Amino acid sequence: MGLRDLKKRWTADTEDLHKESLQKKFTQPGATKMCDVELRQPVKIAGEIKRIRTVPRSGVPALEIVVSDGTADATVVFTGRRAVGGLEHGRGVVVEGVAHDERGKCVILNPAYTLLPKV
């Protein structure tokens, strides 16, 4: 680590540093960056869970999680679920499903998921 890198770390915004570390952490073979996701196509994304909430969708409870890889966010929805074992804030996850646009957000409904080991 040179002096330029040290200066950059001291003067950079903490949010930018966090995004940069997420990009390094979740670069995986076969996974698409969230900023490059094509809608209505099968995708595989990897990222960290930023937010979890339970919301009603058409009168049915649904678990919504927001996953980020540092380039963008994606909302993952598990319909009919109030909780999913292992999905917790800050946990790394790989999600596979079909992405679509919902009110300007990238949304994946009922995907297959793989939990990444805690670090």
Residue 22 gets which letter from DSSP? Answer: H
Q: What is the pLDDT of residues 9-33, one digit of tens each?
A: 666 677 777 777 767 777 777 888 8
CATH number of 3-115: 2.40.50.140
User: For the whole model, what pTM was predicted?
Assistant: 0.79
For tokens 């076969």, what's the residue? 30
How far from 33 is each of 23, 83, 88, 94, 113, CA to CA, in Å?
9, 26, 21, 12, 16
List the domain boundaries for the chain: 3-115
Per-residue confidence (pLDDT) for residue 1, from 0 to 100: 54
